[in-house]
Amino acid sequence: KQEVTQIPAALSVPEGENLVLNCSFTDSAIYNLQWFRQDPGKGLTSLLLIQSSQREQTSGRLNASLDKSSGRSTLYIAASQPGDSATYLCAVVFSGGYNKLIFGAGTRLAVHP
């Protein structure tokens, strides 16, 4: 079964810390992996998309890496800020004719001043 797992489920850090969110997936045959952020009561905001041929993508203070062979991706957030507090979701499009995103359960991040 194609599944996506995120660790940790929740994380609380002081402002200014660099942090890493982890995502693992059960099948290395993927098209791409996408990281989202979800704020309470709101929809999803796309942060980064990594194609299967890429190793990493960067946007501002965010850096996402992809290691297909080990079935892992990490989202690195530099110099965290209270405004980064949200739930971060990892989602994968697996190969095999499927175009849907399979989501992890998310990591709830709280950055306190």
Contact with other proteins (CB under 8 A) among 104, 107, 109, 111: 104
- Determine which residue in the list 9, 29, 79, 105 makes contact with other proteins, applying CB under 8 A: 105
Residues 73-102 contacting other proteins, CB under 8 A: 89, 91, 93, 98-102
Which of the residues 46 through 65 are near other proteins (CB under 8 A)? 46, 49
Q: Does 31 bind other proteins (CB under 8 A)?
A: yes
CA distances from 112 to 16, 57, 76 (A): 9, 26, 18
Instruction: Give 94's contacts (C-beta < 8 A, 6+ positions apart).
Output: 2, 25, 27, 29, 30, 31, 102
